[in-house]
């Protein structure tokens, strides 16, 4: 299922409504909506929704699932940094972050708890695409706005902020075809099983490398979007399968490069994520054959979801699905201090700026926050 079809409508309600009207959801209105340069509709036929305004400041929560990688930690740091900005803090009465692991029942329970506490908005990084009807009904009854981000959900009742995961896979696959050719042995390193982002990137990648005229042998392993897991998965794949001609990885890319170095494997074209350490490696080893392409699933999308939630709670129209551009760079085009930061050696995702939304998080700004839950 494409992202376009995952979010068809945002079925959320506001506290100014009651009874049957409360469960009716938002009013469908004509666009453009609030801040159209930031909240870009997914397509030309995207519907706009509007809820009655309620008085702020608001109680807003973030319910995260999986926490075992750098991206999720930085996402939490970004949420905290954004909520602390004076221009945002004035609209927030209470801000909470919880991480529940990969258990879907635990995530649903955490969301229900915030709804029952009377939080006006809950931002969700979903563990799975299905099984959301129950919390949506409760949110409609209680007047809580739900917005999913990062991973998508298969429902027509929840608003969303999304990057096109399928296109990320297509872009990564095309880069390898352009630099490897149409035949050879490729290593595909997947993310956390069961998440929509993992499946959609995989589908996009395979649509290219298994397309007409392609003749690749593909070895598939799981790296959990984490450098340590990806390094081990890559090392094991090299030990079992020998030489590879190209690699597509969904995350933990710097771990994959380190595995190549440790194994004495020649540098090869790699399509990877937006880790700063990977981009440093791209710059360092480009002349030795590391032809790197780096796409970015930005942790800053949580800030866009929060910005959208505040706008919706203020009664402003928003698109049913906001489309965030996929920032990309490669070993020939990236620029130090813009696309990567050579002096920052900690794990960090470099793509954190969305100028149309007024967002440009610096490394010190994010590192000043912890990746722990905000209770």
Among residues 283, 309, 325, the one where a domain terminates is 325
Is pLDDT larger for residue 41 or for residue 67? 41
Residue 374 lies in a domain: no
Average pLDDT over residues 247-252: 97
Q: pLDDT-based confidence at 25, cuts 50/70/90?
A: low
Residue 126 lies in a domain: yes
Q: What is the pLDDT of residue 271?
A: 99
Q: Are residues 214 and 157 in the same domain?
A: no
Residue 47 lies in a domain: yes
HSE-CB of 144 using CA atoms within 13 angstroms = 26
Q: Are residues 82 and 106 in the same domain?
A: yes
Q: Encode pLDDT of 8-17 as tens digits.
A: 433 333 333 3
Instruction: Compute the distance between CA of residue 339 and CA of residue 76 in angstroms, rounded to an integer.
Output: 21
Q: Encode pLDDT of 272-326 as tens digits.
A: 999 999 999 999 999 999 999 999 889 999 999 999 999 999 999 998 889 988 8
Q: Are residues 194 and 153 in the same domain?
A: no
Q: Are residues 190 and 131 in the same domain?
A: no
With a pLDDT cut of 90, the percent of the chain lying above it is: 70
Residue 336 lies in a domain: no
Residues constituting the chain:
375
Q: Are residues 18 and 156 in the same domain?
A: yes
Is pLDDT larger for residue 48 or for residue 203? 203
DSSP-derived letter for residue 242 is -
Q: What is the pLDDT of residue 23?
A: 45
10 Å CB burial of residue 344 (0-12, 13-18, 19+) is: middle
Q: What is the pLDDT of residue 211?
A: 97
Q: Are residues 256 and 116 in the same domain?
A: no
pLDDT surpassing 60 at residue 22: no
Q: What is the pLDDT of residue 100?
A: 95
Q: Which domain holds residue 147?
A: 3-164+299-325
Residue 338 lies in a domain: no
pLDDT surpassing 60 at residue 2: no
Residue 372 lies in a domain: no
Instruction: Compute the distance between CA of residue 248 and CA of residue 246 in angstroms, rounded to an integer.
Output: 7
Count how many domains the chain has. Answer: 2
pLDDT surpassing 90 at residue 156: no
Q: Are residues 194 and 242 in the same domain?
A: yes
Residue 359 lies in a domain: no
- Identity of the highest mean pLDDT range in 18-22, 72-76, 111-115, 362-366: 111-115
Q: pLDDT-based confidence at 6, cuts 50/70/90?
A: very low
Instruction: Compute the distance between CA of residue 225 and CA of residue 205 in angstroms, rounded to an integer.
Output: 16
Average pLDDT, the chain: 90
- Identity of the highest mean pLDDT range in 16-20, 193-197, 237-241: 237-241
First and final C-alpha spacing in the chain: 36
State the CATH number of the domain containing residue 281.
Answer: 3.40.50.2300
pLDDT surpassing 70 at residue 246: yes
Q: Are residues 15 and 160 in the same domain?
A: yes
pLDDT surpassing 60 at residue 123: yes
Average pLDDT over residues 3-26: 43
Q: Encode pLDDT of 345-361 as tens digits.
A: 778 899 888 889 999 88
Q: Are residues 103 and 189 in the same domain?
A: no
Nearest by Cα to 79 from 122, 142, 109: 122
Q: pLDDT-based confidence at 152, cuts 50/70/90?
A: confident
Q: Are residues 50 and 74 in the same domain?
A: yes
Q: What is the pLDDT of residue 306?
A: 98
Q: What is the pLDDT of residue 154?
A: 87
Q: Encode pLDDT of 180-234 as tens digits.
A: 999 999 999 999 998 888 999 999 999 999 999 999 999 999 999 999 999 999 9
Pairing of β 321-324 and β 159-163: parallel
Residue 75 lies in a domain: yes
Whose structure tokens read 């965030």? 324
Q: Encode pLDDT of 93-122 as tens digits.
A: 999 999 999 999 999 999 999 999 999 999
Give SS3 for 64: strand
Q: Are residues 158 and 173 in the same domain?
A: no
- Other Cβ atoms closer than 10 A to 233: 24
pTM: 0.82
Is pLDDT larger for residue 267 or for residue 150? 267
């Amino acid at each position: 299922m494409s992202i376009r079809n995952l979010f068809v409508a945002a079925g959320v309600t506001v506290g100014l409504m009651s009874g049957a009207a409360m469960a009716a959801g938002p009013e469908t209105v004509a666009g453009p909506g609030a801040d159209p340069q930031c909240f870009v509709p997914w397509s030309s036929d995207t519907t706009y929704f509007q809820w009655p305004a309620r008085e702020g400041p608001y109680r807003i929560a973030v319910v995260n699932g999986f926490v075992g990688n750098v991206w999720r930690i930085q996402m939490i740091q970004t949420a905290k940094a954004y909520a602390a900005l004076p221009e945002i803090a004035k609209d927030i009465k209470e801000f909470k972050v919880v991480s529940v692991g990969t258990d879907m029942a635990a995530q649903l329970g955490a969301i229900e708890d915030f709804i029952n506490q009377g939080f006006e908005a809950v931002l969700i990084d979903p563990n799975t695409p299905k099984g959301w009807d129950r919390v949506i009904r409760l949110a409609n009854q209680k007047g809580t706005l739900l917005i999913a981000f990062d991973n998508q959900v298969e429902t027509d009742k929840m608003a969303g902020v999304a990057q096109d995961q399928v296109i990320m896979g297509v872009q990564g696959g095309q880069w390898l075809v352009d630099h490897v050719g149409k035949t050879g042995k490729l290593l595909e390193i997947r993310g956390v099983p069961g998440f929509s982002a993992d499946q959609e990137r995989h589908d996009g990648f395979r649509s290219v490398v298994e397309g007409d005229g392609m003749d690749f042998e593909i070895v598939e392993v799981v790296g959990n979007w984490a450098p340590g897991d990806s390094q081990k998965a890559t090392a094991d794949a090299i030990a079992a399968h020998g030489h590879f001609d190209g690699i597509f990885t969904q995350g933990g890319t710097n771990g994959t490069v380190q595995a190549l170095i440790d194994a004495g494997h020649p540098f090869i074209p790699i399509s990877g994520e937006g880790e700063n350490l990977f981009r440093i490696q791209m710059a360092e080893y480009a002349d030795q054959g590391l032809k790197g392409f780096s796409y970015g699933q930005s942790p800053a999308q949580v800030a866009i979801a929060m910005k959208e939630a505040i706008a919706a709670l203020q009664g402003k129209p928003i698109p049913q699905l906001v489309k965030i551009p996929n920032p990309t760079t490669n070993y020939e085009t990236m620029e130090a201090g813009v696309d990567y930061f050579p002096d920052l050696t900690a794990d960090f995702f470099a793509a954190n700026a969305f100028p149309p939304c007024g967002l440009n998080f610096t490394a010190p700004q994010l590192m000043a926050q912890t990746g722990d839950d905000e209770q």
